[in-house]
Structure 1
Amino acid sequence: MAKRKKALNSLSNRTRRLRERLNVNIYVLPNLLTTANMFCGFFAIIYAIKGQYLVASYAIVAAAVFDLLDGRVARMTNATSQFGAEYDSLSDIVSFGMAPGILLFLWSLQPFGRLGWLAAFFYLACGGLRLARFNVQKKVISVAYFQGLPIPMAAGIVASSVLAFDDLGLNPQKSWGLLAMTFLLGFTMVSNFNYRSFKDIDLKERLPFTYLVLGVFLFAIVALHPEVMLFVLFLTYAVLGAVFGVLKIGKHGRKALTSGPHHDSELEEDIEFIDPDWDDETPTH
């Protein structure tokens, strides 16, 4: 009798714990924005399959806007949570991994056959690895740099390339340049190259006048020919990060031959040790 009562109590406790796990309370507003991000990614996939590549590209851009907003809203309203972080990563792999990969394949890479879909899958897989790596490195975050190209930026390059090619009247079919770009984006996402995040610049504080001049200059360049210049600026950002990363590897390699082990002091100065539940690239809400 006692054993039966003990077994029933144990079962009751397990049932109660399971019920508590299922009844997860979440913050509605930031997660609605994350859902909007996922919706835009799904919308982009549908319209890419329908052959409406421009609409799909704009949907990816819209997803990036929602991705930017959900994290900001979560932090402004103090509505961060581990649930939000995981949900955001799932949304990102749809909007910035799956959608751009399918768009690239149908829009440009399909004539390459097996090489084309392997390139598109390489982009998707690297995007997933980029998000997974970021999720397990939350305790140490560099304020000034991203480690590897952020997946929203990679998706932005894909979307802006579609807009640029359409604006210039170029034929994207079986473009070796776009094929190379696909592999480059995948590689840079999983690389250890440092990409400037500009998060260390506080716009609420007084800044040198040159910052305003640079901002106006960039705005003028984009306004001159938005579809083309956005693609050029985004791609330049990706390429420069890779170039500087390779140069730094070469520089450190030469130092190692002459002076032994070294440390990347520039990056170490910008690293902050923070709460593992806080995340400035993948929002927690």
Structure 2
Amino acid sequence: MTDLRSTDPADADEPAAPVPPRRKGIYALPNAITLSALFASFYAIVMAMNGRFETACIAIFAAAVLDSLDGRVARMTNTQSAFGEQMDSLADMVSFGAAPALIVYQWALQDLGKLGWIPAFVYIAGAALRLARFNVNIGVVDKRFFQGLPSPAAAALVMGLIWVVDDAGIKNVGRIDWAAWSAFGVTLYAGLSMVTNAPFYSFKVFGGRRTVPFVVLVAIMLVIAVVALDPPRVLFVLFCAYGMSGYLVYAWRKFKGKPVSVIATSTDEPDEIGLHR
């Protein structure tokens, strides 16, 4: 097997490229986006306390969009920092852990009594465990997949249910058995799915490369157009499908006898050289 390391003597004489020091500063732009996501989740909680659940759901979806931007902006502007990483993780815990659990409890679970505590606590605990595991495994997880359901997707699943039911004009859902128990089941499912080992596609790498073909942009355009027709129902269906996709991938890999773990399963990523020995 060919050794990919250089054997040129000239290369051996050249000093290794210096590793840039880790930035310790606090940068305004990415952290401002993170704070905006945090405010959106705080606003969602306040709206839920006032019975405006549709507005609360939209605010959580806005927080998810902002959360997807802060890291990218930091990388594009070369303003990554340890402070920003910790800030983002703490904001995610509020936006996609505490806020959805409190909102769904206020919406339907409180009328179930202490039984309603179970899915709300499982959800918030699952989000905390999911974020902690993500931070620990960030260097060794296959970039094509998330290990467990991502917390923004879990929040979208719970908020999507609330948005669909509220948009249908159904109020006082805690007194409606099917609605309260639907909230119980979806919240419990989302909480437990965050701590499973099922591989959920990350959409960070397409076909082993980071760039995307033109047809992907066309597909994204069509999805946006379809979502615009009926945002509550279309988004809920999309996130339900995504929420089940990890288990389907897990079952398919099991059936084919392939590895089901997402810990360093990709061998074609330059960033993962040395993780497969």
Give the shorter-chain TM-score range: 0.7 to 0.9
Q: Comparing 175-184 with 265-274, which one deviates more in the overlay?
A: 265-274
Letter in 1 for 2:196: S
What SS does the aligned partner of 1:236 have? Answer: helix
Letter in 2 for 1:144: R
Question: Which sections of structure 1, spanning at least 5 residues, go unmatched?
Answer: 1-23, 256-261, 276-285
Letter in 1 for 2:94: V
2:53–2:166 CA contact under 8 A, matched in 1: no
CA distance in 2 between partners of 1:227 and 1:274 (Å) = 38
What SS does the aligned partner of 1:121 have? Answer: helix
Normalising by structure 1, we get a TM-score of 0.76
Letter in 2 for 1:187: L
Deviation at 1:192, TM superposition (A): 0.5
- Relative to structure 1, is the Cα distance of residues 220 and 62 closer, same or farther in structure 2, using a 3 angstrom cutoff? closer
2:158–2:190 CA contact under 8 A, matched in 1: no
Aligned 1:11-30 pairs, distance under 5 A: 25-30=25-30
The answer on 1:197 being equivalent to 2:202 is yes
CA distance in 1 between partners of 2:267 and 2:52 (Å) = 43
Larger Rg: 1
Aligned to 1:19: none
Aligned 1:123-134 pairs, distance under 5 A: 123-134=123-134
Aligned to 1:226: 231
Letter in 2 for 1:184: Y
Aligned to 1:268: 265
Aligned to 2:10: none
Aligned to 1:162: 162
1:121-174 deviation per Cα after TM superposition (whole angstroms, max 9, x unaligned)? 110000000000001112213221111111011111222222211222345324
- Relative to structure 1, is the Cα distance of residues 51 and 170 closer, same or farther in structure 2, using a 3 angstrom cutoff? closer
Aligned to 1:235: 240
* Structure 1 or 2: more helix by fraction: 1
CA distance in 2 between partners of 1:188 and 1:271 (Å) = 28
1:141–1:274 CA contact under 8 A, matched in 2: no
- Structure 1 residue runs of 4 or more that deviate by more than 6 Å after TM superposition: none
Aligned to 1:110: 110
Aligned 1:87-98 pairs, distance under 5 A: 87-98=87-98
Deviation at 1:35, TM superposition (A): 1.1
Letter in 2 for 1:176: W
Q: CA RMSD in A?
A: 2.6
In percent, how many aligned pairs have the same letter?
Answer: 41
Aligned to 1:15: none
CA distance in 2 between partners of 1:32 and 1:127 (Å) = 23
Deviation at 1:273, TM superposition (A): 7.3
What SS does the aligned partner of 2:108 have? Answer: helix
Aligned to 1:140: 140
Aligned to 1:122: 122
Letter in 2 for 1:26: I
CA distance in 1 between partners of 2:261 and 2:158 (Å) = 33
Letter in 2 for 1:57: C
CA distance in 2 between partners of 1:79 and 1:100 (Å) = 30
What SS does the aligned partner of 1:268 have? Answer: coil
1:167–1:227 CA contact under 8 A, matched in 2: yes
- Bigger relative CO (Cα 8 Å, ≥ 6 apart): 1
- Relative to structure 1, is the Cα distance of residues 81 and 122 closer, same or farther in structure 2, using a 3 angstrom cutoff? same
CA distance in 2 between partners of 1:246 and 1:237 (Å) = 15
Letter in 1 for 2:54: L
Number of matched pairs: 241
